[in-house]
Structure 1
Amino acid sequence: MARLGSRILNTLSGRFLLLTVAFVMLAEVLIFVPSIARFRVDYLQLRLEKAQIASLALLAGDGMVTPELEAELLANAGVFNVVLRRDEVRQLVLSSEIPEPISATYDLRMDGPFDLIREAMAVLVDPQERIIRVIGNPVQQAGLLIEITLRQGPMRLEMLEYGLRILVLSALISVITAALLFFAVRRLLVLPIRRVVRNMQAYAGAPEDARLVFTPTARVAELRDAEEALQQMQTELIGALRQKERLAQLGGAVAKIAHDLRNILTSAQLFADRIEQSPDPGVARAVPKLVGSISRAVNLCESTLAFGKAEEHPPRLARFALRPMLEDVAEGEGLSPTTEPACLIDAAPGLVIRADAEQVQRVLSNLVRNARQALDATGRAGTIELSAGEDEQDWWIRVGDTGPGLPPKAREHLFQAFQGSVRKGGMGLGLAISAELVRGHGGRLELLRSDEEGTEFIIRLPKLGAEGDAGLAG
């Protein structure tokens, strides 16, 4: 039973029920306090009115009232004596023996609201029988003031009965109000939320099932917004999952093609090695270029396979001079300061970095190849610039060109495989693999600019962790 109660209290509707009861009771308390003060004032005012009627009856009889009648008048008014001031003279009209001294005097003409509330609360918490004096204004302007003496006990009992009736009524109102609000909140909030939760649980079991996409039905604006957001998210997720599945299938097909093509190119590489022994000078000059092209094609196939399997080995760090590598990359692409496009290298001969030389060369080759293809597509002369340097934290390498810049679509998905291709017919693997290789060094590959004046990438390789034995495996 206790566990069930705890479970209910931990629900939204259960907590709302408790809050409703608490706030309704608080409101009733705020009503009860001034009400009980008002009841005390009305009680005393009624005693003043009865005492005034009794005193007027005595005055009408010209003082010829028997002691028995006077006692009956006082008993009917519920007081011990009555003092009426009709002019400047204070006159004791009715009187009887007071059993004990007067303990307090209350002047209803002078008390403010807070005084009345304080006095009423004091009466409720004081169980002792006391004699009090009360001063007020006569009704119908029948004098300047009227003063009575009475017991506090009967007034306190009636105040307690009145307060109890208010509390019982307040509790009843609280229960009814809380129940109505409980069912209203359950109908308007809890049930729609549970419907959303059930849909999310069902959708999690089959996220590709379009039939499980949530249909908004809530009328509450906030819940409607949440349901529409859930519907949009599920719709977009289904599209993303379908695209991912297609890309996975495409990747598998590309991996198979790359595998077979690598075998074919390996055989072609063997034949090229044999042709290299030809005595023909023209063939001898062409063979190195042929071997280089086939080697790059084999590397491309291996990169495709490695990307598909996510089996890129960690960087093997070693120190090497960077400028010779830049020159090798330019020469591998058939570029020099005198070719079209021209390739300019700005790097200090003594600049030494610590990285995986093979992976850095692959990254640079990808960037330089993309730059050359961009310039070749324009059909006009251009320049590719390779520069390098270092600061306190990083080694950096810039690769820039004076080409037409990247198209907007390529910039949106620049480093995403199969989406960030910078040329027609490309698969977008080069930049994706390059960015992954640089991240493996703890660095980053960034696009510095791309506009009508050209494109510029920068590679940043951090020195932290590369200078000592705490770096990556080397």
Structure 2
Amino acid sequence: MARRPLNSLSGRFLILTTVFVMLAEVMIFVPSIARFREDYLNVRLERGQIASLVLLADDMIDAQLEQELLENAGVYNVVLRRDEVRQLALSSPIPEPITASYDLRQANSLTLIVDAMRVLLTPENRIIRVIGNPVQDGGLLIEVTMETEPLRNAMLDYGLRILALSAVISIFTASLLFLAVRALIVRPIRGVVGHMKSYASAPEDARRIIVPSAKVTELREAEAALHDLQTQLTGALKQKERLAQLGGAVAKVSHDLRNILTSAQLFVDRIEGSEDPLVRRMAPKLVGSIRRAVNLCESTLAFGRAEEPPPSLARVQLADIVADVIDSERLAAGEHDLSFSEDIPAGLTIRADGEQLYRVLSNLVRNARQAIVASGDPGEICISAQEDDEAWWILLTDTGPGLPPKAKEHLFQPFQGGVRKGGSGLGLVIASDLLRGHGGQLELRRTGPDGTEFAICLPKANLSLNSAAAE
């Protein structure tokens, strides 16, 4: 579809510039035409005064000379006031009655403008009286009688010349501004659009990222912002590609690992029949761990197919889940001076997916344990819970060294928020994603040298849970 010139930035700027210049010229035209009328009337007064000087030089002049003087002055009568005496200096028959009188001695700008517009808008020829001050102190006042038609014609001629000149100035000014806008604004904008189209065709190619070069400050800022956006987007696309490749590899590993764990589960089932008390006590926990690993592998495969199901919400005992998590992490802590505690109200039942909630708590406790063990100092991890009318709250606190600045900045971003060296930063991402599936959220309340505290919020409202699960 062809581009319409008037819809372009430069075309609209041309139109707006022309309109604004014309408006400015109209604002100049109105007082100008009023000044022209005033000058025209003053000239008639001056001519009338000059014509009356003949009478002062010779008291008796013939009627033909008097008529010729009045015609040259463009008036019908001339009245002078000298020494408080009003004298009809020159006169001739008036074809119509006088319809209006105008005193120019004390007329303000507004009055002159209104009178001028009235003359322009009244096409009929009228007889008017004009009063003014004589030139060269030739008396107290001078008064002439004249027609309005010659005045209106002169005003129209002057106005048309002013408007024509204004149009020429407007077009010339708008054309210059049009060319300037095209050179200074439109052309750089088209360059930016061209860069955007080129980048859109191959966003992974870093060579297509725009290099700020505009001389106009605002355009240079826009180019700099676009440069930053394209740089971040290119990095994100590369990371997305790496994640896709990693996801394929993880899916393959999970597939084979699931088979191995399934075989291990069969062997554990045999171990449960042992008579050894220690084996009988540890076997159920081993079975539970292998079952969770198998479920995790299956979930990973489902995620790789973009078919991960929403959480299966049910009433679960929070204390049982917390106990399983702490037992597993206590074994993982080994001989390190690390204590675990729990403060869960007896009989507290929450509505959640038990397996997913176990993964959330396990990731959080594992992160806390690894941070404390890496510091080499003794520590404590505590899980507590409470509820109110709207939600269940699970608090996890530790006495570890706190999160480093990079981890806080990229807290819930995969492969960027790792706390320890070699960590993937996926633990908090997984926990946050699983909680969003419940309609809840994970938030960092505090972190520092004296420890870290995370808060889990699980809403009680069914609507929030169902909506979150659907999303």
**TM (normalized to structure 2)?**
0.89
**C-alpha deviation, 1:218, in angstroms:** 2.5
1:34 alignment partner in structure 2: 31
Q: Quick one: distance in 1 between partners of 2:72 and 2:318?
A: 117
Question: What is the identity, as a one-letter code, of the residue corresponding to 1:442?
Answer: G
RMSD: 3.1
1:365 alignment partner in structure 2: 362
Are 1:429 and 2:421 an aligned pair?
A: no
Are 1:182 and 2:178 an aligned pair?
A: yes
Give CA deviations for 1:55-109 in whole Å, capped at 9, x if unaligned: 1122223x23222222221221122222222322222222222222222222211
**C-alpha deviation, 1:173, in angstroms:** 2.0
Q: Quick one: distance in 1 between partners of 2:198 and 2:234?
A: 14
Q: Give yes or no for contact 2:212–2:227 (8 Å, CA) kept in 1.
A: yes
Q: Give yes or no for contact 2:439–2:465 (8 Å, CA) kept in 1.
A: no
**C-alpha deviation, 1:269, in angstroms:** 4.3
1:355 alignment partner in structure 2: 352
**C-alpha deviation, 1:207, in angstroms:** 1.0
Q: Quick one: distance in 1 between partners of 2:306 and 2:416?
A: 18
Q: Quick one: distance in 2 between partners of 1:263 and 1:247?
A: 24
Of 85, 88, 91, the residue aligned with 1:92 is 88
**C-alpha deviation, 1:449, in angstroms:** 2.1
Q: Quick one: distance in 2 between partners of 1:144 and 1:241?
A: 92
Q: Quick one: distance in 1 between partners of 2:48 and 2:229?
A: 80
Q: Give yes or no for contact 1:466–1:472 (8 Å, CA) kept in 2.
A: no
1:202 alignment partner in structure 2: 198
Question: What is the identity, as a one-letter code, of the residue corresponding to 2:358?
Answer: Q
Q: Quick one: distance in 2 between partners of 1:86 and 1:312?
A: 110
Which secondary structure does the structure 1 equivalent of 2:462 belong to?
coil
Of 40, 53, 57, the residue aligned with 1:56 is 53
1:458 alignment partner in structure 2: 455
The number of equivalent residue pairs is: 468
Question: What is the identity, as a one-letter code, of the residue corresponding to 1:428?
Answer: G
Question: What is the identity, as a one-letter code, of the residue corresponding to 1:453?
Answer: D
Question: What is the identity, as a one-letter code, of the residue corresponding to 1:21?
Answer: T
Q: Quick one: distance in 1 between partners of 2:369 and 2:105?
A: 102
When structure 1 is superposed on structure 2, of 67-76 and 299-308 the one drifting more is 299-308
Q: Quick one: distance in 1 between partners of 2:2 and 2:313?
A: 63
Are 1:312 and 2:296 an aligned pair?
A: no
Q: Quick one: distance in 2 between partners of 1:467 and 1:107?
A: 83
**C-alpha deviation, 1:181, in angstroms:** 2.1
1:140 alignment partner in structure 2: 136
Are 1:397 and 2:394 an aligned pair?
A: yes
Question: What is the identity, as a one-letter code, of the residue corresponding to 2:221?
Answer: D
Among the aligned pairs, what percent are the same residue? 65
Give CA deviations for 1:424-448 in whole Å, capped at 9, x if unaligned: 3332333222221111111112222
**C-alpha deviation, 1:284, in angstroms:** 6.8
Q: Give yes or no for contact 1:354–1:466 (8 Å, CA) kept in 2.
A: no
Question: What is the identity, as a one-letter code, of the residue corresponding to 1:397?
Answer: I
Which secondary structure does the structure 2 equivalent of 1:121 belong to?
helix
Q: Quick one: distance in 1 between partners of 2:32 and 2:465?
A: 83
Give CA deviations for 1:408-438 in whole Å, capped at 9, x if unaligned: 2223333333333333333233322222111
Which secondary structure does the structure 1 equivalent of 2:39 belong to?
helix
Q: Given the superposition, is the C-alpha separation of residues 282 and 444 from structure 1 closer, same or farther in structure 2, using an over 3 Å criterion?
A: closer
Q: Given the superposition, is the C-alpha separation of residues 68 and 210 from structure 1 closer, same or farther in structure 2, using an over 3 Å criterion?
A: same
Question: What is the identity, as a one-letter code, of the residue corresponding to 2:405?
Answer: P
Are 1:375 and 2:372 an aligned pair?
A: yes
1:220 alignment partner in structure 2: 216
Q: Given the superposition, is the C-alpha separation of residues 10 and 250 from structure 1 closer, same or farther in structure 2, using an over 3 Å criterion?
A: same
**C-alpha deviation, 1:278, in angstroms:** 6.4
Q: Give yes or no for contact 1:304–1:429 (8 Å, CA) kept in 2.
A: no
**C-alpha deviation, 1:226, in angstroms:** 1.0
Q: Which runs of 5+ in 2 are unaligned?
A: none
Are 1:74 and 2:70 an aligned pair?
A: yes
Q: Quick one: distance in 2 between partners of 1:28 and 1:143?
A: 39
Of 310, 334, 342, the residue aligned with 2:339 is 342
Which secondary structure does the structure 1 equivalent of 2:118 belong to?
helix
Q: Quick one: distance in 2 between partners of 1:471 and 1:251?
A: 24
**C-alpha deviation, 1:276, in angstroms:** 5.9
Q: Given the superposition, is the C-alpha separation of residues 248 and 470 from structure 1 closer, same or farther in structure 2, using an over 3 Å criterion?
A: closer
Q: Which runs of 5+ in 1 are unaligned?
A: none
Q: Given the superposition, is the C-alpha separation of residues 100 and 376 from structure 1 closer, same or farther in structure 2, using an over 3 Å criterion?
A: closer
**C-alpha deviation, 1:402, in angstroms:** 2.0
Which secondary structure does the structure 1 equivalent of 2:212 belong to?
coil
Q: Given the superposition, is the C-alpha separation of residues 289 and 83 from structure 1 closer, same or farther in structure 2, using an over 3 Å criterion?
A: closer
